[in-house]
Structure 1
Amino acid sequence: MRAFLKRVAQPLLALLAFLRRENLLRLMAAIVALVVVGAAGLTVFEENRSFPDALWWAIVTVTTVGFGDISPTSLGGRLIGVVLMFFGIGVLGMFTATIAGVFVEKRLRKERGMGSYDLEGHIILCEWNNRTREILKDLRADPRAAEAPIVLLADIEAKPRAGIERAATVVMVGDRSLDHGARDAKAVLSVLTVESLNPAVHSIVELASEENVAHCERAGADEIIVGAEFSSRVISTAALDHGISAVLRELLSAQIGHDLITVPVPEQFAGARSSICSQA
């Protein structure tokens, strides 16, 4: 019995919270008061009219349905009818407009990616450019992230809810529309924001200059990737070891060839020293 009451109470409490949040309780109270006062006034001016009949007439009048089965004959009753008609149109119009506005806003929020999503352990990609597009392709090509929820934060007018507080990983790609200094400054501020909201998240940030690595480290970034530095080292290595860039490209991309992955250390090897280390 208690479980049944709980199942019944939850939808009712949710409905009550919705009505309170959208300020619909006041409009509903105004409609009820208008109907009751109008019905009571009709019984005063027309003594032969019962309250149930007057209540029915008030509801029909407020909703402007106008069945015509009951109509006031006295001057006072007709004046009450006029008041109910005018106020009924206004109050009901506000009520229906509020309901329609809720559904329209919900649809717009969904189209803008601002709906309520109960995500946890997901990946967040900040910024949208050619680099982010490739990152997304690689993530979807990897079986470990093929079906994982990924939230994309782009530079749009309406900011969607990313659920940073429950995210597992946040990737902050540099904003290509800014120069190197402003790009890295924005990246550092983004790291500070992310780490303050969720200190447990694994934050990965892309920088344009190696000079700002120390700032990102102080901000709490877990992994810092300097694009120009990485590219320079790959080029210099390929200049001496021809073809090494193709090997690195294959290992670092889940879309082609083999992959580099991390796996948990087997229990029998935990804490043990490798033979190479022991020989050294």
Structure 2
Amino acid sequence: MPAKSKPSSRRTFFFILKRERFFYILGVTLVILLGGAVALYLTEFGVNKGVGNFFDSIYWAVISMTTAGYGDIAPITAAGRIVAIIVVLSGLLMFSMVTATVASVFVEKKIREGKGLETVKSKEHIVLCGWNTNAEEFIEGLFRSMAVKKLSLVLVNELSEEEVESLKYKYRDQDFRFLRGDFTREDVLARANILKARSAILLADTSGQRSLEKADERTILATLAIKSMAPEVKTCAELLNPENKQHLLRANVDEIVLRGEHIGSLLAGATVSPGIPRVISSLLSPEEENNLWKVEIPERFVGKTVAELAAHLKEKSHALLIALLRERKGLVLDDILTDDMSAIDQFIKRKFEEAEKDLFGKKDRVLVILNPPDHTILTHEHSAVVIARTRP
């Protein structure tokens, strides 16, 4: 499904100007200005030393209509003074209308922005689709985990204006934007500038008095829309019903968080080993100093063992290595073509391009290795997961 063109805020701005008859008012103002300049030139040229050429008349008309009135050029004939009266009075009226029209356009633009109706121009931002009781905890965790001073976050949901204003005030130090609309629609996602987004987070949505019964359905539809418009944007979705997991995977989602997935294991852990659930809860709590961090393997440790990297992280950052992530790249067309690009290779490549389908699936696979053995050899595909107070 091709992505719909993103609405242009510039086109919207000019549409509002046109609707407010700004160009008509501006045109009348220019006609009066030029007419006054011509009339002054015809009545004062050769008589008034201040009007030596037509540019002097233009200059006089501009300062008269804007009520600057420097007094360096003043009409001395009766006809010239009549022209001056007409120009000054017309200028007061027309420039007031121009100023009022421009002011109303900017006020309306600000109101539209406050209501979440404007188009986002941010790049490398995070789009948060939907809202529920866990949303603020997610935002707090995001601000805590991201190693940037100012995070660009765009909310797309149907919260009330009071709730939105409260959130804007709470996160006033961040690049916080709000868009009102149904995030399953491509035109709404286009206004969120999803094509330039860094990632998209989809929550089980309850905004706009929606129930949780159809939350998974909306999450799947939104994922399909995002991936059809911007396949490279990373998506992470919250899922309520585990039976819908396969549908979400078919939508090509990158990460799935299943609500309540490990409740049974946590309850069993609390029974057999009291305190274990508190440890897990503390790690995920925004109030805890220590946090989970994903760290790229430094180049000098590629080819070395986990034990060497763990010792380095412990010494330099007081970080505890608990897992390795291994990212395996998905198969792409170039992987099966030969280097010399024979006639057969060119034919295959042309047919795949004509089909316009990703039959290989470029999706990367991430393998998790908890408590990796000390002798494990690190590669470029690995990244480390550590517990530390700050990002190593």
3-state SS of 2:200 partner: strand
Residues 55/163 of structure 1: CA separation in 2 closer, same or farther (3 Å cut): closer
Which of residues 123, 131, 135 in structure 2 aligns to 1:132? 135
Which of residues 74, 78, 97 in structure 2 aligns to 1:73? 78
Deviation readout 1:81-125 (Å, 9 max, x if unpaired): 5653564344323322244345545655776786966442x4333
Which of residues 35, 38, 44 in structure 2 aligns to 1:37? 35
Structure (1/2) with the larger strand percentage: 2
Give the structure 2 partner of residue 159 of structure 1: 179
3-state SS of 2:260 partner: helix
3-state SS of 2:235 partner: strand
Amino acid at match of 1:36: L
Q: Which has the higher contact order (CA 8 A, sep 6+)?
A: 2
Give the structure 1 partner of residue 364 of structure 2: none
Which of residues 262, 272, 276 in structure 1 aligns to 2:294? 262
Residues 118/225 of structure 1: CA separation in 2 closer, same or farther (3 Å cut): closer
1:35 to partner: Cα distance: 2.1
Q: For 1:149 and 1:135, locate their aligned partners in 2 and report how far apart those are by CA, in whole Å.
A: 13
Give the structure 2 partner of residue 147 of structure 1: 149
Matched, 1:211 2:209: no
Residues 236/194 of structure 1: CA separation in 2 closer, same or farther (3 Å cut): farther
Tell me if structure 1 keeps the 8 A contact 2:220–2:248. Answer: yes
Give the structure 2 partner of residue 97 of structure 1: 100
Matched residues, percent identical?
Answer: 26
Residues 127/57 of structure 1: CA separation in 2 closer, same or farther (3 Å cut): same
What does 1:203-242 align with in structure 2 at a 5 Å threshold? Answer: 203-242=235-274
Which of residues 160, 170, 178 in structure 1 aligns to 2:200? 170
Residues 103/244 of structure 1: CA separation in 2 closer, same or farther (3 Å cut): same
Amino acid at match of 2:39: G
1:131 to partner: Cα distance: 0.8
Gap regions ≥5 residues in structure 1: 1-18
Residues 180/108 of structure 1: CA separation in 2 closer, same or farther (3 Å cut): closer
Name which of structure 1's ranges 63-72 and 182-191 shifts more when overlaid on structure 2.
Answer: 63-72
Amino acid at match of 1:267: V
Gap regions ≥5 residues in structure 2: 1-12, 162-177, 181-190, 305-325, 329-368, 377-392
Cα RMSD over matched residues?
4.4
Amino acid at match of 2:195: E
Matched residues, number: 256
